[in-house]
Structure 1
Amino acid sequence: MIRKILATISILAVDQISKRIAIQYGSRIIYENFLNIHVMWNKGISFGMGKSFHSTFLKFTVFLSCLAVVISWYKTKNKFDSKAYSFILGGGISNFIDRLTSDSGAVLDFISIKLFGINMPVFNIADISISIGFLMLFWKIILNKK
């Protein structure tokens, strides 16, 4: 249980610290035409979708999602699943903290990548963490079907 908690807190801390650093240094070019820091507040959900949702609704749904993951995280005895849930939970809680502490109920995004000349949606470490956790669980489902 201690490892689960430490993994979750580590992800949360890395995301929150990286966001503070991004705010402190602001937008800047890291590798032109590939990776940039572009500080922006995202009022929607993943990739800016759902911007029209009321911030109270978003806070409530994020809270319920985190609660569902906490229950799964707490109940699982499988190490692989525990790691996946820790990734999801650490990122989810960190983004939830942003929603609670920002005046507009938004999440700070700052990583901007351009792939094959296409600007990808701006994201943060928490988004990466949540995506990795879901990919881990998805991968496990795919492998178990064979």
Structure 2
Amino acid sequence: MQAARGTSLSDTGPSPSTPPPGAATRYRLIFAVVAVVAYAIDVATKSLAVEKLSTADVELAGKWLVLHLTRNPGAAFSTGTEFTLLLSGIALAAAVVVLYFARRVGNRTWAWALGLLLGGVCGNLTDRILREPGPLRGHVVDFLMVPNWPVFNIADICINVAAGLILIQAVRGIGVDGTRVAAREREA
């Protein structure tokens, strides 16, 4: 059915799965700001932890949240402690992959996810590069301790929140560029 002079009633303009014009620049800016802020907070809190927690723990919320300094040569849950050099290489590769995908970011949630992921990966990578026992073998500073969980840091929080956001976007079928997977399949 047509409304007037060949215009379809179902034609509502640009597809809702297509990002608005100029949005890509805005999303890349969000990505960059989130990455820099996440990285800065991680580095600053680790520096404070090393400076202030070397002699004693600090209970912030009783036993529910304790600031406890530890250094982790491995990955999550202190796994792979003998593979610090390999973990550094994986972190470098992950940072490059995130930067590659960030060029195409076309959605606010993806911008946040990739920004948090890059900030977290680079925060822990900085420890691996700059901290003892040496470049690419350095131990990651962890200082947040909750009951029945390994000690962690802000970078770990950023990485896990990013993983959650990425899973949400995958379930919703929204690609990094902001288009829905179903819309791309129809166009193909």
More helix per residue: 1 or 2? 1
1:4, distance to aligned residue in structure 2 (A): 2.0
Deviation readout 1:79-99 (Å, 9 max, x if unpaired): 211110001001111110010
Asked if 1:107 is matched to 2:137, the reply is no
Deviation readout 1:16-46 (Å, 9 max, x if unpaired): 1111111122032222221101101110011
Distance 2:159 2:59 in 1: 25
Q: How does 1:58-137 map to 2 (within 5 A)?
A: 58-104=87-133, 105-114=138-147, 119-137=148-166
Alignment-mate amino acid for residue 62 of structure 2: E
Preserved CA contact (<8 Å) 2:88 2:125? yes
Asked if 1:6 is matched to 2:33, the reply is yes
The percentage of counterpart residues that share the same residue type is 25
1:33 maps to which residue? Answer: 63
Preserved CA contact (<8 Å) 2:30 2:111? no
Alignment-mate amino acid for residue 72 of structure 1: F
Bigger CA radius of gyration = 2
Flag structure 1 segments of 5+ consecutive residues without an equivalent: none
Asked if 1:15 is matched to 2:42, the reply is yes
User: Post-superposition, which runs of at least 4 consecutive aligned residues in structure 1 deviate over 3 A?
Assistant: none
Alignment CA distance shift 1:2-1:139 (3 Å): closer
Distance 1:102 1:12 in 2: 16
Distance 1:21 1:33 in 2: 21
- Using structure 2 for the length normalisation, give the TM-score: 0.70
Q: Highest relative contact order (Cα 8 Å, sep 6+), 1 or 2?
A: 1
More strand per residue: 1 or 2? 1
- Using structure 1 for the length normalisation, give the TM-score: 0.89
Distance 1:9 1:102 in 2: 20
What secondary structure is seen at the aligned counterpart in 1 of 2:81?
A: coil
RMSD: 1.5
Flag structure 2 segments of 5+ consecutive residues without an equivalent: 1-27, 174-180, 182-188
